[in-house]
Structure 1
Amino acid sequence: MRRSRKVSAVAMALGTALVLGACGGNGEGGDGASGDVKDMAVGKGQQGENYSLPANIPETEEVTVSTDNPFTAYNNSTADANNAYNSAALVTTLASAYTLNGNNEVLLNKDVMESVELTNEDPMEVTWKIKDGVKWSDGEAWDCDDFYLTYLAQNGKAKKGNGGTYFLAAATNGYEQVKEFTCEDDLTGKATFDTPYVDYKAMFGVSMDVLPAHILEKNTNVDDITKVDENSSADVLTKVSDFWNKEWNGFDKEKMPGSGPYMIESWQQNQSVTMVRNPEWVGNTPGPKKITLRSIPNATAQAQALENRELDVVSSTQPDADAAQRLQGLEAQGMTYGSKPSLGYEHLDLNYANPIFQDDAVRQAFFECVDRDEIVEKLIKPVDEEAEPLNSIVFYPSEDGFKDNYSDKSMGDAQKATKTLQDAGWKKGGDGVFAKDGEKLEFRISHTDIPRRKQTVELIMNQCKDAGMKITDDQDPNFLDTRVSEGDYDVALFGWVQEPFKASQKSIYETGGGQNWSEFSDKKVDEAFQKAVTQTDPADATPFYQQADKALAENYYTLPLFQSPDMWAFQGIDRVFYQSYYGSLWNVGEWEKTE
């Protein structure tokens, strides 16, 4: 799961497309794009359950695309780097066993894979067969060694003497359940599972986690990464994990080749990342020769740049009313606009490291005073008129298994919140702020410099003021770079964005999970997620996910606000659709210029 600056963040049912507010200018769009944007969710290269880049896409010199926040890391699987804005660039440059289309259908990537097969059920065994001839942009083979490194770094088994892990992975989902991963030959990898893992298709690449083992070997003087395991010496594990943890941040062309149709050519920190065609790409030649992905945090500024024709595509997971109205107004000029609910949700996490939030009454009262209806009405409905507060962490309303666990806990009632605190021994002082045992009820809400998030905090500050809470707006443009993963917040406001596999939530909410930064711990939640991810049938997992969802709500720990809308607009390109997990570049190789 990715955090959203987009975050890395819940799952839809596979294959379910939710496209609400999509239309093209003047029915057809002056740039030749189809007026039915939702039809663009299926790539030109999709054949049933497979995808490969189609042949004979006309050559285009360059496309320029915006996103809300900058690219920061080539290795997007470490706890401190993991975020969706890295995915937006890496989806073009790092190959994967499976990929996703705009409808979140899981497709076998036939450009690089021969097959992925469940070859045994008890014990569960899965075999990945790589196509012969797939290469990194530096000419080295993309092969089973790379898959093995992915398994080694994310299985959580390599432990230090103090109990900590060598590899600081954001998540270990799936890999931790593998008993053994072996390279049968250079092109064949086989995983034998201790316990079944229903979402095995999420492994090896959907989250762009297959990285170049040969680069790591060269820089650590390790001859063969497949000979390294959790029982290797501390010296070997230290140098291998230190490289994986730290050396693939930012961009270094010598250390960061591409295995997809593109490779990264250059990076301007906090501004842009540029991709060019991978000269060793094994599939058909992609259309655009060059892609520039620009970071523009202000959605209205993105709309202005599109109007000025500085951009070909605007893509935002943090749209606001002004930007949406401005983009819709550009349809008469031949630009095409689309919006839909995403695979992400905005939420508030309360940090148990702050003693105030170890008080059950404080967490409950905070939930009670937050008026999510007002937040959605003022900030989200102008973009998505059907938006409602989200009342589940694990399920969306469209999914089987959804139950409303939050509308009776967060209702925007300052009086009820006041009573909850008074009953727990909190007393309001002359300044209108509650206190108990000499501790005032004051805390920060931390977030990035996205205008809508600042507006959200301003609304909450006003809503909870009458409940005797003194809240400070802690806006930090770098909040999601390091602070959130270090637990440096009282309340964190951000978004999670998830691939369409619910198992990825386990690492966020389980005790000690790689993305559990708030020191939250609950045995009911741990047990429910563990049972869910070891089922062999998704339908059998649903009751356990429901148990986890209910237990999370009863802890008053994480408050979902709304399902985030994706918003995009484009001009001069035939088909663009914003993919909730990957962004707009998921099928950029297919794009054709129309003017």
Structure 2
Amino acid sequence: MRIRRFAAAAATVAVGALVLSGCAAPQSEIVEGSSLSVAWNQPFYSYNDLTSFGNATANANITYSTNSRFNFYDDTPKLIQDTSFGTYEKVSDDPLVVKYTIADGVKWSDGTAVDAADLLLNWVSLSGAENTPDFDSTQFTNPDTGEFTPDFPTDVVFFDSGADPTTGPGLVSKLPEVSDDKKSITMTWDAPFVDWELSFTTAGLPAHVVAQQALGIEDPQEAKDALVAAITDNDAASMAKIANFWNTGFNFTEMPSDTSLVVSNGPYTITNFVADQYITLTANENYVGDHKPQVAEITVRFITDPLAAVQALQNGEVQVISPQATADVSDALAALDVTVVGGYEGTYEHIDLQFDQSKSGHFNNPLIREAFMKVIPRQEIVDKLIVPIQADAVTRDSQVFLPGAEGYDDSAKANGSADYADVDIAGATALLAEAGVTNPEVCMLFSSTNPRRANEFLLIQQSGALAGFNVTDCSSPDWGGLLGTPSAYDASLFGWQSTSLGVTNGPPPTFNSKGINNLNFYSNPDMDKLTDQLGKEFDLDKQIEIQKKIDKLLWEDFYGVTIFQFPAVTAFDQTKIANIAPSTLSPTIFWNVWEWSPVSE
């Protein structure tokens, strides 16, 4: 086993640290006939990872590989602009005005040009500027799948992007200006936003495909023109159809018969997809950017069991794996002649408690939420499941700060997490008595195919029983799509993966009442004010102070608990593939997929 280690995330990820570079990757040539297989632990299920349903790493890995962006993070991590796809220019600071321009010759994989129509669709979907006011989509969510129900109203405009008019792209409420050559849009922000550079990074979904499907128009250019007209004129009837298709039309779990649903503008395009088995990416013949790939075909195999992934690597069925780290995985990899990259990921394990939409209804009561937090054996989980892999592993004691980052230590001391350092059965029992409940049921959602989470659940179940909690197994292979589903569960056990270094990467989308990652229906007006304030604060010291207040308020509200920072493990067969360099940020191993290089025999 060849071992390489990358620095712990805390050493490389500084809050709000953005480093720009104009560098482009060197041009490469596709090695004809080359192929590679990589294992991932969850099946792909949506080509739109911008919705609350599709927002998952398993989807983002694929959409990242198949689509280009104005900027991306490397493994340092540094923010790099891809000018071969397009450019952005800050025209004005007050008001904040930004112009986005698609580069010459950029096309979708079906040959249709990428242009302002795509950017305009991306704006209207991410901003929610034309959404029907006060519409509540939660009553039209299937509790078994997390998808919208067939009776979703057809007369409302609702893009399921978590748009909030007080933060992010939601601050662009005015219709952007489209250039005469239809390659640029200029967006004027209602207020300053510190992470504007990270808020609009792709062309989004193909406008011509969305309009063709939603409006029944065959010709791609006519479809784009109709979509632009619908947005420009705020045509509610057409926009309702467009939004509905944008929300649901790209959800599929096998290769769609209509291949227009998989058009891409990046290095790869989806060419095959077998449910629960694999998805195949093939080099995009119409790609003209700087990130031309070297591997002709990549197959992402869905292997949910970490040890099965190691076995597949040993057998040569896959050449790259990045499974969830366990002691058994580490031992199994030690016996193989492969390169292993370890360290810490930008992902942390946590438990969120449902608020007014909990399945049992118990967690509407803060006393019961507090009682349950007291029985979660955070330290035992770390000692038994993580320390055998990472000897220096400790509990993560902040909902906001990355361990090692500036502000973490001070916040952890003052945020109230110390009250949950040890299990307190007596305290939990007293709180349940005060609440007037006995043996409350807690339905816990987690991945049914994840052995480490199954072990965590058992430890939580055993500890909870000592205080009278009946913690039940509500695990599912489709857990990701169920996270934002009303009344589907009481508590969820999963990991959040950081996608950027932006100061607003976590708190606003996760803890704001309107945030796309607010999956447990948490709502506190004070929190909304703090998250809104954070996005408009450019002073680093003041950002940290706001984050400390956010962190403390979450523990005071009995939001849930953090448990540990993920230990990382990526393994690959160095005799078959080169240039594997995992990043702490999503999409981890896939960030430089175009640089992956087959090794000659």
What range describes the TM-score normalised by the shorter chain of this pair? 0.7 to 0.9
CA distance in 2, matches of 1:526, 1:385: 38
- Contact 1:370–1:413 under 8 Å retained in 2: yes
- Provide, for residues 106-128 of structure 1, a one-character-per-residue CA deviation record: whole Å limited to 9, x for no partner: 11113212x32222111011122
Aligned residue in 1 for 2:147: none
Distance 1:418 1:243, change over 3 A: closer
Q: Is the 8 A contact 1:376 1:387 kept in 2?
A: yes
Match of 2:419 among 384, 409, 412: 409
CA contact (8 A) 1:315 1:578 kept: no
Q: After the TM superposition, which residues 149-228 of structure 1 pair with which residues of structure 2 at under 5 Å, given as runs? A: 149-160=121-132, 163-164=135-136, 166-170=158-162, 172=164, 174-180=168-174, 181-184=176-179, 185-205=181-201, 210-219=204-213, 220=215, 221=217, 222=223, 223-228=225-230
Query: Are residues 289 and 538 of structure 1, via their aligned partners in 2, closer, same or farther at CA, if it must alter by over 3 Å?
Result: farther
**Is residue 305 from structure 1 mapped to residue 312 from structure 2 by the alignment?**
yes
Task: State how many pairs are aligned.
Answer: 541
Which range moved further: 556-565 or 505-514? 505-514
TM-score with structure 2 length normalisation? 0.85
Q: How far apart, CA to CA, are the structure 2 residues paired with 1:401 and 1:140?
A: 48
Give the gaps of 5 or more residues in structure 2: 13-18, 137-156, 218-222
Instruction: Kindly provide the amino acid, as one letter, of the partner of residue 382 in structure 1.
Output: P
Determine if the alignment matches structure 1 residue 522 to structure 2 residue 532.
no
| Paired residue type of 1:542 | I
For the 8 Å contact 1:350–1:557, the answer to whether it is kept is yes
1:7-406 equivalences in 2 (<5 Å) = 25=2, 49-57=21-29, 59=31, 61-113=34-86, 115-160=87-132, 163-164=135-136, 166-170=158-162, 172=164, 174-180=168-174, 181-184=176-179, 185-205=181-201, 210-219=204-213, 220=215, 221=217, 222=223, 223-229=225-231, 232-250=234-252, 251-252=255-256, 253-284=259-290, 285-316=292-323, 318-330=324-336, 333=337, 335-352=338-355, 353-354=357-358, 355-402=361-408, 403-404=411-412, 405-406=415-416
> 2:589 pairs with 575, 584, 587, which one?
584
State the 1:344 CA deviation.
1.6
Q: Give the distance between the partners of 1:167 and 1:48, measured in 2 at CA.
A: 31
**In percent, how many aligned pairs have the same letter?**
27
Q: Which residue of 1 aligns with 2:440?
A: 441
For the aligned residue pairs, the C-alpha RMSD in angstroms reads: 2.5
CA distance in 1, matches of 2:598, 2:80: 26
Give the structure 2 partner of residue 32 of structure 1.
Answer: none
Check conservation: 1:123, 1:193, Cα contact below 8 A.
yes
User: TM-score with structure 1 length normalisation?
Assistant: 0.85
Q: In 1, Cα distance between the equivalents of 2:383 and 2:77?
A: 27
Please say if residues 447 and 494 of structure 1, whose CA atoms lie closer than 8 Å, have aligned partners that are also in contact: yes
- SS class of match (2:373): helix
Q: What corresponds to 1:503 in structure 2? A: 504
Deviations 1:359-408 (A, max 9, x none): 22211121112121110111122332222111111111221222103542
Q: Which amino acid counterpart does residue 75 of structure 1 have in structure 2?
A: N
Equivalent residue number for residue 463 of structure 1: 463
Which residue number corresponds to residue 563 of structure 1? 565
After TM superposition, give the deviation of residue 57 of structure 1 in Å.
4.8
Shift of residue 234, structure 1, vs aligned partner: 2.7
Q: Distance in 2 between matches of 1:227 and 1:539?
A: 45
Post-superposition CA distance 1:94-144 (Å, at most 9, x none): 11111111233211113212x322221110111223211111111111222
**Given that residues 110 and 263 in structure 2 are in contact (C-alpha distance below 8 angstroms), is that contact kept between their aligned partners in structure 1?**
yes
Deviations 1:10-31 (A, max 9, x none): xxxxxxxxxxxxxx61x7xxxx
Q: Is the 8 A contact 1:315 1:583 kept in 2?
A: no
